[in-house]
Structure 1
Amino acid sequence: MIISIVRESGPSLAQKGMTMDSTDLRFILGFKLKKYRQEKKLSLKELAHKTNLSISYLSEIEKGKKYPKPEKLLQIARVLQISFDELVSLRLQKKLDSLSTLLTSPVLKEFPFQMFGISPRNLMQLLTDEADKAGPFLRTVLEIARTYDIRVEHLLFAALRAYQNIHENFFPEIESAAQSFRKEHQLSIQPPPKAERLQQLLQRLYGIIIDTRSISDYPELNTLRWVLIDNFPPTLIINPNITREQKTFLLARELGYRVLNLQERVHTSSLRGVQSFNQILNHYKASYFAGALLMPEAALVNDLTNLFNESHWIPDRFLQLIRIYGVTPETFANRLAQLLPIHFGIRELLFFRFHTPRNSGQFSITSLFNTSRFLIPTGMGTREHYCRRWLPIRLLLQLEEKQNQGHDGSTIIAAQRSRFKELNTEFFTITLARASGGQETINQSGTVSFELNSQFKKVVRFWDDPAIPVVEVNETCERCGFSEEECSLRAAPPEIYHEKMLQKKQEAALTRLKEAIAARYGKGNNVV
């Protein structure tokens, strides 16, 4: 006799419209079998004896590796005194509903767990070993994600940054592919290849149509730099308002997709809503190829060596290099972050790009690579105000002021030694700020910051140039303890700083209270 015990509530995964594959089905069955077995206080050995199934076979089921035939499932259900449907249904207990959400989440399916030496099954096994505790934990994580608008692409981009760190942001095979392509097609280093030449190669080698007119017919798409229509023949539609340097780079990146045979990809310049880690990774690889093609490794390393041997900081030398290679300031700064760790031993560095709508007072980080010990607060842009003493913020505000006065707003470059007072860390920062090509109301900056350690001082002779200002900075205005006299650039009151100070004062007062109580009532003194 099969006894049906109704323990579960809430809609099943199928009723929620969640798609399941065979791995999901095996995992849910294994999870439920283990839970019901433990509720009956049966060991695997005891369940094996009662069902006439081997211990190893039952263990494989619980691990999500096997899905038995119906007759064996019926044997198991009888011993556990539950119905067949209850055992095999996709329904989980309400308090474990967050497990089902995670199981069918794009995070679990798209996040590159293998890069960190684990699998989604490893993660789920860890969570389900203590399922009653895992449920509340996962609900908390999901609530945090919703509160702070953490989307799947945020996690995928974090995985990309980890991938870059693992490889020190340097990929010899892509450098070699770019070098071979340049030699095969006789592309000169100086002057660098022009957009027209790269366009000819895309058309001749890969049959790609280049369209610079059609996107103008769709005002909703005016913020996109490019769109790829991947039919036959493939058509690369380019926004006619972007700069020549941007056009050259995106043509070089499209060559990267083809030369490296990167199949899974994004089809617009917007990376919001990416569907897999491979899309992000391949976009990064194609972009890396473009940088290596336009700024060859050996040539740029030689130029940087000469630049770093200067005894004084000369901003025009940096701008001259950018013009020579025909790239945007952001592309140049990003290329530095690829070559400096390997060729100069400068490994503690940050590269990040700021984006700001003109006169909005809002600054957001749109790109980041970080190998330093400093965790830059990328997620604070919409809730807190980045320190206005940061060099990129300061330059973007200067650029905005020039534009408001009717100047053309050409590229601004500066260097600064930034001392993080609370962290006891100093960075040497170089920033280039300019108007964003194709978007007149947007400004952006590219920044590369180096932890000011012995290796950096050894390589870069002008690190202590007196002309370079030394500025004390903080993370955000809300976290900064500078007084109004010390900082006139504050954009928001120091609410978080005051909360921390109040907490410290309370902790100190509690310590004094405990000491006073111990002195008053200790050693047998019970008089109030």
Structure 2
Amino acid sequence: MELKSDNLKLIFGIKLKQLRKEKGLSLKEFASKTNLSISYISEIESGKKYPQIKKIIHLASALGVSYDELVSPKVNEETNPVTAFMKSPIFQEFPFQMFGFTLNDVVDLMKDSPKSAAALIRTLTEIGEMYDMKVEQFFFAALRSYQKMHNNYFDEIEIAADIFLRELNWPSNEPLNYDILAQTIESKYHCQIDESTISRFPELQSFRSIRIDGHPPRLLINARLMPPQKAFILGHEMAYEYLKMKERPMTSSWLKVESFDQVLNNFKASYFAGALLIPRDRLVEDLKRFFQNPVWNPDAFVKLMDQFDSTPEMFMYRLTQLIPKYLNLNEIYFLRFNNVPGTDHFQLTKELNMTRYFVPHGIGLNEHYCHRWLSIKLLQQLANLQVHNNTPHVLADIQRSTFIDSEAEFITISLVRPLVLSEKTNSCVTIGFLIDSEFKKRVRFHDDPSIPTAQVNETCERCSLKDCRERAAEPQLYEKQKKLEMREQALIQLVNEIKRNS
């Protein structure tokens, strides 16, 4: 990947500072030899300025190197991993500013100790290669961290959705429907909606939508989708137009992630769509009333979702946005598992953990997730119903989960359904709440004795529980860790005995 101009400044600054130090020159001495000010040289070394040709000649002469050698982006072996990292998509696209850093801040950490920085970067690079980590995985991890920093609530998007609804003269407590969204997109933004074209391409049947730029632009929607899903796609499209976001993927499912801005804008568009279709104030009030029930009622929970004409994922993810803000329940997590009925493979396809505890994580992890988790149980239950041709549109359930080797206890609520576009695939979305004093105050059914309980862990490979009927794999990683601990204890014992006898 070619270096951007800002990164050329940074590399030039790293190189200049390194050569100056090799010559044993202080900033003051170097400024005197080059007839340049100390502040100007400092700005060059920090990557803020790139000097003119005449000044580069003076700098090169003072350092005893040629002009070509100084301006070349090639560096010595000591700083090569640093510059290689700066050329990488991760460095050039990573949203440092979202976490209060600039590129210069990151480079400043590298410049003062290039050998240590290079060693760290080599280590991180090797870890990434070992686990076959892609650039987009770093982007999605950065997005999740950004969401956690804000408790997954973004007031500016909520306000934008409120203003949009007022401009349409639409009641703020009523979900926006497909017809109004379609009419607005076609009349105001001159985008054609096409529900027939995707069906002519078998290879594209898994896409919910495809956006094709042109005059006019066309939004292709998969006709097999349910009405709430089609409405969400229109709300998602409306977000790009209304919020004036340019960087975007062409398809609803990621084919290729080209930049972090694409990832961030896609998240904002989804958030905006959720705010249009599931009104904030109405849901919060309905949820408060539901939580005041003394016993858990799955039918009432499904009814709460259905009144917003929502899919389980849209509804549950909207809950993760509003519950921390308006109910002060901050220790929550969201999981989405997929499963092909009849198989024992459960794939974690989406996660957001805003708790202090480890829950199933690691999308693509080649381990067996604990089958005691409600998500897994509910997927198995739906698969059994499908064998007997009894497929409900959605199943809801609840479980009190206690972590093995921990006192942390969660209430988990799950919704499961068959997917529309992925044949023979079921999907389960789950929200977990840490049972703390705030949760007990907000949720009356927290102590409902009818709620089943279970001890859970992350994966079978890491679990110490013996005689587990649900175990899907041997505890290899747990046993490996225990053996390591025993060897460490034996080594300590050996050293202590020798010291006592010497």
The bucket for the TM-score relative to the shorter chain is over 0.9
Q: 2:443 aligns with which of 460, 469, 472?
A: 460
Distance 1:261 1:50 in 2: 51
2:369 counterpart SS class: coil
How far apart are 1:226 and its partner, in Å? 0.5
Q: 2:150 aligns with which of 139, 142, 167?
A: 167
Change (3 A) 1:514 1:372: same
Counterpart check, 1:494 vs 2:460: no
1:432 counterpart SS class: strand
Change (3 A) 1:62 1:173: closer
Amino acid at match of 1:293: L
Counterpart check, 1:139 vs 2:122: yes
Structure 2 equivalent of residue 239 of structure 1: 222
Q: 1:346 aligns with which of 326, 329, 345?
A: 329
Q: Which runs of 5 or more residues in structure 2 are unaligned?
A: none
How far apart are 1:275 and its partner, in Å? 2.1
1:325 counterpart SS class: coil
Change (3 A) 1:68 1:473: same
How does the TM-score come out when normalised to structure 1?
Answer: 0.90
How far apart are 1:130 and its partner, in Å? 1.0
- Check the 8 A contact 1:243/1:438 in 2, yes or no: no
How far apart are 1:44 and its partner, in Å? 1.8
> Size of the alignment, in residue pairs?
502
- Check the 8 A contact 2:177/2:277 in 1, yes or no: no
Amino acid at match of 1:407: N
Distance 2:133 2:294 in 1: 45
- Check the 8 A contact 2:173/2:279 in 1, yes or no: no
2:338 counterpart SS class: strand
Counterpart check, 1:229 vs 2:219: no
- Check the 8 A contact 1:387/1:474 in 2, yes or no: yes
Q: Which runs of 5 or more residues in structure 1 are unaligned?
A: 1-17, 522-528
Change (3 A) 1:341 1:33: same
How far apart are 1:417 and its partner, in Å? 0.9
How far apart are 1:184 and its partner, in Å? 4.1
Structure 1 equivalent of residue 53 of structure 2: 70
Structure 2 equivalent of residue 478 of structure 1: 461
- Check the 8 A contact 2:348/2:363 in 1, yes or no: no
2:307 counterpart SS class: helix
1:162-202 deviation digits (Å, cap 9, x = unpaired): 22223222233333333343344354678744423332232
2:181 counterpart SS class: helix
Distance 2:334 2:304 in 1: 18
Amino acid at match of 1:295: I
1:335-373 deviation digits (Å, cap 9, x = unpaired): 111111121111111112222344443333332222211
1:275 counterpart SS class: coil
How far apart are 1:434 and its partner, in Å? 0.9
Counterpart check, 1:507 vs 2:455: no
Distance 1:149 1:362 in 2: 21
Structure 2 equivalent of residue 111 of structure 1: 94
2:429 counterpart SS class: strand
How does the TM-score come out when normalised to structure 2?
Answer: 0.94
Distance 2:190 2:363 in 1: 44
How far apart are 1:390 and its partner, in Å? 1.0
Q: What value does the CA root-mean-square deviation take over the aligned residues?
A: 2.0
Distance 1:120 1:377 in 2: 33
Change (3 A) 1:62 1:116: same
Distance 1:145 1:340 in 2: 35
Structure 2 equivalent of residue 252 of structure 1: 235
Distance 1:515 1:28 in 2: 52
How far apart are 1:330 and its partner, in Å? 1.0
Percent of matched pairs sharing the same residue: 43
How far apart are 1:495 and its partner, in Å? 0.8
1:435-486 deviation digits (Å, cap 9, x = unpaired): 1122222221111111110000100000111111111000111100111x2x
How far apart are 1:407 and its partner, in Å? 2.7
Distance 1:70 1:192 in 2: 62
Structure 1 equivalent of residue 253 of structure 2: 270
Q: How do residues 85-484 of structure 1 correspond to structure 2 at under 5 angstroms? A: 85-187=68-170, 192-379=175-362, 381-408=364-391, 410-483=393-466
Change (3 A) 1:32 1:183: closer
- Check the 8 A contact 1:32/1:87 in 2, yes or no: yes
Distance 2:174 2:18 in 1: 68
